[in-house]
Amino acid sequence: MRVYNFSAGPSILPIEVLEEAQRDLLDFNGSGMSITEMSHRTKTFMAVNDEANALLRELLNIPEEYAVLFVQGGASQQFAAVPLNLMTTGEADYLVTGNFASKAQEEGLKYGKANIVASSKDKNYTYIPNLDNLEFSKNASYVHLTSNNTIFGTRFTKLPKTSAPIVADMSSNILSEKINVKDYGLIYAGAQKNIAPAGVTIVIVRRDLLGKQMPICPTMLNYEIQAKNDSLYNTPPCFSIYMAMLVFRHLKKLGGIEEIQKINEYKASLLYDFIDNSDFYTNKVNKVDRSIMNVPFVTTSEELDAKFIKEATANGLVSLKGHRLAGGMRASIYNAMPVDGVKALIEFMKKFELENK
Ligand SMILES: *Cc1c(COP(=O)(O)O)cnc(C)c1O
């Protein structure tokens, strides 16, 4: 039986995509083998690689002056790849709005000055700092931020004003809402939240930032080399790229990012409205900074939180346990979570409240 899976990552995939992958598994496009069994130099795989790239460009309206790379190592590898490629002045600014943002800044310190220009650690990352009075370093090569904070359930609704290129970790909100790629120097995202199975990591980078990497930059992390080789410098994560292609086709069929954004905003508003109108459940995040992808909440006690998670699981609503740094519950309602999944969660929350208040 399929469950409603609220996992933060790896996470739910569209059922239509899983079924298509199942149909393709023994014989992809008449090749007599699966996509995971063939050389990445075959015409068949290269067509998949090209289509995935082209569809992502179309969905996000990525201008020609940006390269789209499919790399490995997850978003965490980008914490190092970004400074190795872009920290040309030996210095960069970081906005620390969560655990991953903090890890990115700490990794940056290995390669130069990684300045913290804002942090919301004082209130356990439950808000986004005021962006209007930030003091950026004159010498910063880039400004790094995490556009959606997966663990704490916050997101940036606007960007800071800075002349340095903005580098954004969009692992948990890429393709969930419209963005203007030109506002960024570089965007990166691990696939396993909103795109595909773990394996591929997306990098979208303005081409004029390429080719300035530090001499110690490993070949595999060198964006310019990856761009020149269409991300096929070595064996790519073929299955993850193929699944990404299927998900991109699926999003396009749904009407693109504008349509999926409407659905995402609707799902999030259903859940937040219910929580706000209840005196049993609480979301501790500053309202204007709320994520539309990850919704943390608590009941009135830790004992009831534990009971909630247990009973929800028994009712087919799984992976609702919050991250250990945030506690309580967290419902990740990525693109692939149907509206019916959110409604089922709310119905369960109502019932649990009645029984335990
Ligand atoms: C999950 C996540 C990461 C870590 O991703 P990996 O692919 O496991 O390295 C980094 N940043 C954000 C915002 C995430 O949600």
pLDDT tens string 161-180? 999 999 999 999 999 999 99
pLDDT for the residue numbered 1:
86
Task: Compute the distance from residue 351 Cα to the ligand 1 centre, in Å.
Answer: 33
78 Cα nearest atom in ligand 1: 9
172 Cα nearest atom in ligand 1: 15
Residue with CA at minimum distance from ligand 1 atom 13:
171
Residues with CB under 6 A from ligand 1: 9, 74-76, 100, 146, 150, 169, 171-172, 190, 193
Tens-digit pLDDT profile for residues 269-318: 999 999 999 999 999 999 999 999 999 999 999 999 999 999 999 999 99
Task: Compute the distance from residue 102 Cα to the ligand 1 centre, in Å.
Answer: 12
Task: Compute the distance from residue 150 Cα to the ligand 1 centre, in Å.
Answer: 8
pLDDT at 23 over 90: yes
Mean pLDDT over residues 325-331, rounded? 96
CA angle, residues 98, 101, 107, in degrees to nearest 5: 140
Distance CA(69)–CA(78), nearest Å, equals 12
190 Cα nearest atom in ligand 1: 7
Mean pLDDT over residues 116-137, rounded? 97
Q: 189: which 2 tokens? A: 């995202």
Task: Compute the distance from residue 188 Cα to the ligand 1 centre, in Å.
Answer: 10
pLDDT for the residue numbered 76:
98
Task: Compute the distance from residue 278 Cα to the ligand 1 centre, in Å.
Answer: 32
